[in-house]
Amino acid sequence: MGKNRHSEGAGPSQRQLRVGELIRRTLSAVLARGDVHDPELNAMSITVGEVRTSPDLKIATVYVMPLGGARREDAIQALKRNRGELRREIMREMTLKYAPDLRFVIDETFDRMDETRALFAREDVMRDIEGGEAEGGE
C-alpha cells in the first residue's frame, strides 16, 4: 500500500529534493571558488539553477546558465570535460555512498522568464490586462 505512493509521475521524493539541493550548493561553491583545474572553466561565471536527481540518486541532471547567457555550448563542454573532478568534489563535500553521474544541460528557465517579461511589456497585452482588471473591479 505505501510502496505505490512513489509510482511514476508522483514527483521527486523529499530525499531527491534534499540531495539535489545539496549537490546544487556544492557545485555552485566549487565553481565560484575555481577549485577545478581547468582555466577555461574557471574563467566562466556559471549559475547552477537546479539539480534534479533520479529516484535511485545515481544520476544528477544539473541545470546551468553561463553569465549573461553567452557561450552556452562552451560552458556545457567545459563542465562535461571536468565531470570526473566535479564528481570527486561532490563526494569530498557530501556524505553520499557514491557520487551521481552528472549530466549538464542549459537551464531554459531564464529564457522563458525573459520571454514572459517581454510578453507582459507589449502594449496590446498590457491593454488586455488593464481592461480585464477594470472589468473585474466593477
- Per residue in 122-135, pLDDT tens? 777 677 777 755 55
pLDDT for 1: 40
71 closest CA partner among 45, 109, 34: 45
Indicate the pairing of strand 46-53 with strand 59-66. antiparallel
pTM: 0.72
**pLDDT at residue 137, as a whole number:** 46
Q: Which three cell numbers stand for residue 18?
A: 534534499
Order of strands across the sheet with 46-53?
A: 46-53, 59-66, 101-106
Q: How far apart are the first and last CA of the chain?
A: 51
Q: What is the pLDDT of residue 114?
A: 58
Give 67's contacts (C-beta < 8 A, 6+ positions apart). Answer: 44, 45, 46, 47
Residue ranges of the chain with pLDDT lower than 70? 1-9, 110-120, 125, 132-138
* pLDDT at site 88: 92
pLDDT score of 119:
64
pLDDT at position 7 is 45
Task: Note the pLDDT of residue 26.
Answer: 95
Residues of the chain with CATH 3.30.300.20: 3-107
Tell me which fold the domain 3-107 belongs to.
GMP Synthetase; Chain A, domain 3 (3.30.300)
